[in-house]
Structure 1
Amino acid sequence: MRPFCDLASPQQKERKMKEINRITALVILSLFWIVSAAAADHIHGIVMDANTGEPVHGAHITVNDKVIGTATGLNGRFHLMREPGVKQITVTHIAYRSQTITIEGYEEGELLQIYLEPVRIVSEGEIVVSADRVKMAYSGIYSDVKTRPVEDHFSSISGVDLVTRANFAQDPVIRGLRDGRVNVMIDGMRMTPACVDGMDPLTAYIESDNLKAIEIDRGMNGEAGAAGTSGGSVNFSMVRPSLNSGLTGSAEAGYHGVADQQIFQGALNYSKKRWGFRLSGTYRNAGDMRAGGGEERLLNSGLEKGNVYASFLFIPNESHEISLQYIGDFAGLIGYPALIMDTRRADAHIGGIEYVWKNPASIVNSFKTRVYMNSVRHWMDDYDRDVTQRDEMRNMYMPMYGETVTSGINSEVNASVSGNFFNLRAEAYGINAFADMLMEPINPDARDMYLVNLGDVATGNVSLFGSFRRFTESNWILGVQGGIEAGFSSISETSAVATYRAEYPELDDLSTADHGYTIGLSVEKKLTNVWSSGFRFTDGTRLPDHMERYGYYIYQPLDGFFFYGNPGLSKERSSRAEIFITGENIISGLSGNVTGWINRMDNYIAGERIDNMFKRYANMGVATLYGFEMDMN
């Protein structure tokens, strides 16, 4: 056996010694860091919104202007090691004014409470970032391409689909539900389409240049507008003027090759320190769309429309804010190739005034109230169609007209006491609707027939809704919510009243009055710095809308039937539950979630078949929807 001997050269021995020294040094430094960490104090704190008192998620805390630091979790809390010599920490968030805190007098075990003042961050051509109540919102609007249609942005929102009827303005569908089961609003203002065939969805009145965020409530969070629905709500949050920026402006032109669409957009903003005014306009003109990959055109798919948006903001002091908004939308000929008619003209006027009072009392963080009114008028016809070749209502033209006026007031109060957060909302609104049509046979010997689709329908609704949330030190978020509403509806046009009395002789009174409720609870737990999981449940009722009660001869292209309303409908009940897990890595910017949900609806309102052409709205028993959603950003 060969005896052991060291064959390494002196140079190799020297390199080995240096490596051993480096390892030894690293071990010593690691031990020193561990001992120092054990001996160091820790800072425990919570970051809250100065206006609402709610925890601020994702705020960054750094030490002595260094990169080293931490970030707040869902409950707004953070834990940071305090090394010797640390005198200040800095708290930053994109939607709040940064704040530097002196901690020389801080004692171990104390909870450091930090309040951040919300700010409106506006860079010309960029999206406004603001710190309102925490909502599930999509704010990834493509600010560098303002001429893109709004519906392009819905593709990034899980659980939301679109119904397409034309070259623009698609209907949002939330978890399989739409129309009266989903409230679509503009800055919290309710609107009612005027076209009984659904040819004027509310997305038609929004341009991307004026849009700050799309706020989605899938019916589980109890946001404004979602109570009293089976499917939730969509709220388009609009851009406000930037302040203290003088005179600024932008202009953009776009071209979409599929329909030779030309888009021209321009905006002006003029402001001082305390007030600002913004005016913008968009014009779209498109021909018929090309079929995929070829020159063949899809007939009756062109459009022409203009949109004007004006907004005024006045902030007399740090506690009060007043804003006014107006949207005017004016459409010419808009083709609907999936339907049997086209829009000849549509006009919409939308206006509102909002007042915000910040910190009016010691426990009241904010009070907000809004008064609004809007009107929509819609004309459609089939004069550009070959009525001799279609299956429905052959050999006659059917020009139709519709108008609605919606007005309302809503108020909201946010309060907080020792980590408990309260929200109370009250709302009252009314709808007036009328629609009619003329059947014009192409045979000159046949007589025209006049028909009222909505006979001066009037509805009114009042509601009160409250929610409570508690953020615990152990990273639990507990919530309960509840609300009540009352509504009435009536029909007054003479021929429409006579028609419905003939259809429903068993009803003594065609007017209705009813009430509903909403209750819910939620539990959420932050499992780690990245992962959270939770459960939500809601149960409530939905009152039938004016179309389901009083619509007459309403064509539904999804099944090809004409529908009658039913004043004797009962309210629909919806019981919904969801379980979810979410993840967000603040450092990498990655986030995602997986959600499973179920929605059981009793007294489900749908069309009951009468014959081969007609259906009547009726309570059809039980409908159950379920599914799951997964997304990553």
Structure 2
Amino acid sequence: MRSKLLTLVVLILAFAQIFIAQDKGTIRGFVYDLKSKYPLFNANVWIEGTNRGDVSDFKGYFELKNLDPGSYTLVVSYVGYKQERQNVEISKGEVKTIEIYLEEIPYFSVEEIVVLGKTMETYNQAEFGGRDISKKAPRDLGDFIKNFTNTSAVKKGGYALDPVIRGLKYDQVNVQVDNGLKIEPACPNRMDPPTSHVQSEDLEKIEILKGPYALRFGPNFGGIINLVMARPEKTERFKLNGEIETGYESSWKGRIARLTLSGGERLFDFRLSGGLKEYKNYIDGSGNEVQSAFKIKDWTSKIGFNPGENHRIQISVRDMYARDVLFPALPMDEIKDDTRMLSFDYALRNLSKINSVNFKVYYSKVHHLMTNEYKPTRMMVEAATEANTKSIGGRGEVSLLFERSILYFGFDYSRVEKRGFRTRKMLTGPMAGKTFIDSVWQNSYMSNFGAFAEFRTGFQGFNLIASARYDINYADASEPAPTFARMFGTLYSKHHNLSASVGIDKIISSSVQLTLLLGTSKRSPNISERFINFLPIGYDNYDYVGNPAIKPEMNNSVDLILNLKTLGGLVKGDLFYYYIKDFISSRIRSDLRPKNMGVLGVKQFYNIETAKFWGFEIGYSSAFSKVFGFDINIYGTRARDGVTGEPLPQVPPFEARMNLYYGFFEGKVVPEIGIRAVARKSDVSQSFGETPTPGFVLVNFLVNIAYFKFFDISLGVNNLFDKAYYEHLNRRVRTTGVPIYEPGRNFFVNIKMKVGQ
């Protein structure tokens, strides 16, 4: 009865909003460079005096819907260009299309960047907005992030892939939600990496900041992934919007369903969403079934208060429940993973010389249960691991405006606590009937306090960013296992880490920009590297044991970036080099005996004296047509042990991607073809047990349809030619030793109904 009543209410709201929306108008258009007439993507467009706005896409296209009849002043801005204002009048139900041309200024001014809130090139930032995310309808964020240049992911099953940036992974990459919230995996095997706790349908955008340069946002060793959750739109009068989303994938027999309600008025706003995903085992390109099923239920709420023109308070709550997630490459499967994230944010803007004040506190917890219920080893032993993680932290930042400069300074704090036990009941052999209980995390914790500052300025055609942070990191295990405690004199460790970076860019001419980035950053080892207690958590089949005496690793890095406007588009090239001291790896301890059945031995974490990473990224994005275009990206990373010269393990191969698109019906129907070519990976770490990986070529097809007023439809097929292939970072199936193959030909459709927008 309750579900029927909810359905009736949603339908009534839907029809009411449909009739109301018929009186509304729409302003849409394109933003172009005044001289070259090529489109400007990521230009900011908003209605003066309000928070209503949009960001132009790769065709320069923007759209502002549901406007009351009347006169509006549009403000359009883009980094490096003069701001433009244009008056637009719309009548009842009118759809008006305009073109706006921006004039380029001699060089990027800091004042322009500060006003717009844009990020300078010296952060080396890439981002995917909500449109790019929703049209691909990703089932898993880790899998979706592989679409970024020089990023990949470690795959242990069909869900919860672990992102990798330029060959750096796990805690070498700082993953956070909404500019600061941290969530720590509870599973020793990282069945639950941070990206697995957020669903793509709730995101406004994904930001990736490569390299150890953006030090304002926490300890940053190899890059930052910031998952920005969608927030409600601020309006003057009360408004209620809704979205109903559903989708299906053929290879997985997977389905999704989601409902979102948002609304508010000048003083408050809210966004509520929830849904489910249920996927079966998928079929690979050879017709074999891969154990990859999973079930996800989640809900999210954001409530905002706007007590003054320059003040905002926001409270966010998110719960997620994962069930029966299968991992063919691991000794156990995830039976249950329950997550809760809470955060409180306060922001103050534009108070005289104080440009902004931001304050955040957060709390997150994960309850994780994994067993071998679906594994062949169940016949010999009943094994279960129950683990819990709790994270608390906060962040405060103030920015001050000067005539041509801005200064950021502040602090951040985080504390992670982990508990967990593994129970093994022996069913066969001489130990049959006995039960063993092992401490997994040994009731350990790690805390980090950091203070940071960043200074931006512009002078004589240059832009400069200089930043630094100082971190105090300490950790301990309060309930160590006796065998672990006997290996070390003390388990407590404390590190003092100093990091710094500088970036400078120069507009050489109207079509050439050059950027140089330099950075040095330290990362203290995580809890696994310090305190893991004889568990097979690595790529290979070994028990791993932590090392409380392990030293922090230091990344000394340089990036040289060239942006060139030519051939009707934008060419971006990047050469990078990382010289890492005390790189954390693992080695065999022949004097230690393993505790798990079937493993080859014991490995312990230790520091390699030096490691070297280097690579390139080059891309071209066309912008010579309103309806047709393409982009090409070629990239790769190499890594070596600085002492032995041997390749480092788990570094992706060279890769090239190309996307071609054409817009019909004024861009409302856009088919897109994607081609991905991955080279053979032959420079592998033999001592680590790696083997060469064959190359492959994939073709994907996608059509995004926004022709209908209240519906957006995405449909297509991935792996069009049903290729049998696997990625280099895919783990091997535990029972056969064969790598996990990717899905074969996979048809998908995603439908989103929008009400009141």
Identify the TM-score tier after normalising by the shorter chain.
Answer: 0.7 to 0.9
Identify which of 245, 250, 253 aligns with 1:252: 245
Q: TM-score, normalization: structure 1?
A: 0.76
Matches within 5 A, 1:448-527: 448-472=435-459, 474-493=460-479, 496-504=480-488, 507=489, 509-527=490-508
Contact 1:147 / 1:264 at 8 angstroms: preserved in 2?
Answer: no
Aligned partner of residue 486 in structure 2, secondary structure: helix
The SS at the match of 1:190 is coil
How much does 1:279 deviate?
Answer: 0.6
Letter in 1 for 2:486: A
Q: State yes or no: 1:291 paired with 2:278.
A: no
**1:563 match:** 544
Contact 1:549–1:568 (CA<8 Å) still a contact in 2? yes
Distance 1:411 1:631 in 2: 36
Q: CA deviation at 1:340?
A: 2.0
Amino acid at match of 1:550: F
Amino acid of the residue matched to residue 252 of structure 1?
Answer: E
Structure-2 change in CA distance of 1:471 and 1:456 (3 Å): same
- Aligned to 1:621, what secondary structure does the other structure show? strand
State the alpha-carbon separation in 2 of the partners of residues 204 and 484 from structure 1: 30
User: Match for residue 329 of structure 2?
Assistant: 338
**What is the identity, as a one-letter code, of the residue corresponding to 1:626?**
W
Which of 326, 345, 350 is equivalent to 2:341?
A: 350
Per the normalisation by structure 2, the TM-score is: 0.64
Instruction: Give the corresponding residue for 2:521.
Output: 540
Displacement of 1:203: 1.7
State the alpha-carbon separation in 2 of the partners of residues 271 and 614 from structure 1: 57
Is 1:90 aligned with 2:85?
yes
Question: Alpha carbons of 1:426 and 1:279: their partners in 2 closer, same or farther (altered >3 Å)?
Answer: same
Question: Is residue 113–residue 119 contact of structure 2 (8 Å, CA) maintained in 1?
Answer: no
Q: 1:155 to 1:617 in 2, by over 3 A?
A: closer
Aligned to 2:617: 629
Matched position secondary structure for 1:249: strand
The alignment of Structure 1 onto Structure 2 pairs a total of residues equal to: 518
- Change in Cα spacing, 1:73 to 1:319, as seen in structure 2 (3 Å) is closer
Residue in 2 aligned with 1:182?
173
Please give the root-mean-square deviation of Cα atoms over the aligned residues, in Å. 3.2
Deviations 1:257-309 (A, max 9, x none): 11100111110112122211111112011111112253x322x3111111111
Secondary structure at 1:263 match in 2: strand
SS at match of 2:251: coil
Residue aligning to 1:419: 404
Shift of 1:545: 1.4
**What is the CA distance between 1:113 and its match in structure 2?**
11
- Give the alignment of 1:147-546 within 5 angstroms: 147-149=137-139, 150-151=141-142, 153-187=144-178, 188-225=180-217, 227-244=218-235, 246-292=239-285, 294=287, 296-298=288-290, 300-360=291-351, 362-387=352-377, 395-443=380-428, 445-472=432-459, 474-493=460-479, 496-504=480-488, 507=489, 509-546=490-527
SS of the residue 1:237 aligns to = strand
CA separation of 1:163 and 1:321: change in aligned 2, threshold 3 A: same
- How far did residue 420 of structure 1 move? 1.3
Deviation at 1:147, TM superposition (A): 4.5
Structure-2 residue corresponding to 1:31: none
Unaligned runs of 5+ in 1: 1-46, 51-56, 61-69, 80-88, 93-108, 119-129, 389-393
Q: Amino acid of the residue matched to residue 448 of structure 2? A: N
**Structure 1's 91 and 501: CA in aligned 2 closer, same or farther, altered over 3 A?**
farther
Matched-pair contact (CA < 8 Å) for 2:143–2:153: no
Query: What displacement does 1:143 show?
Result: 5.8
Deviates more, 1:403-412 or 1:310-319: 310-319
The reply on whether 1:582 has 2:563 as its aligned counterpart is: yes
Separation in 2, partners of 1:112, 1:529: 14
Check if 1:618 corresponds to 2:606: yes
The answer to whether the 8 Å contact 1:515/1:543 transfers is no
Residue by residue over 1:23-76, the C-alpha shift from the partner in whole angstroms, topping out at 9 and shown as x without a partner, is: xxxxxxxxxxxxxxxxxxxxxxxx9x99xxxxxx99x9xxxxxxxxx99775x4
Q: Which one has a bigger Cα radius of gyration?
A: 1
4+ residue runs over 6 A deviation: 70-73, 111-118
- Secondary structure, in 3 states, of the residue corresponding to 2:519? strand
Deviation of the 1:479 alpha carbon: 2.2
* Counterpart secondary structure, 1:549: helix
- 2-structure distance, mates of 1:114, 1:346: 46
Cα deviation for residue 115 of structure 1 reads 7.4
Whole-angstrom distance in 2 between the partners of 1:72 and 1:531: 20
Question: How many angstroms apart in 1 are the aligned matches of 2:251 and 2:542?
Answer: 32
Letter in 1 for 2:605: Y
Residue 157 of structure 1 aligns with an amino acid whose one-letter code is: F
Which sections of structure 2, spanning at least 5 residues, go unmatched?
A: 1-43, 49-54, 61-74, 88-105, 591-599, 622-757
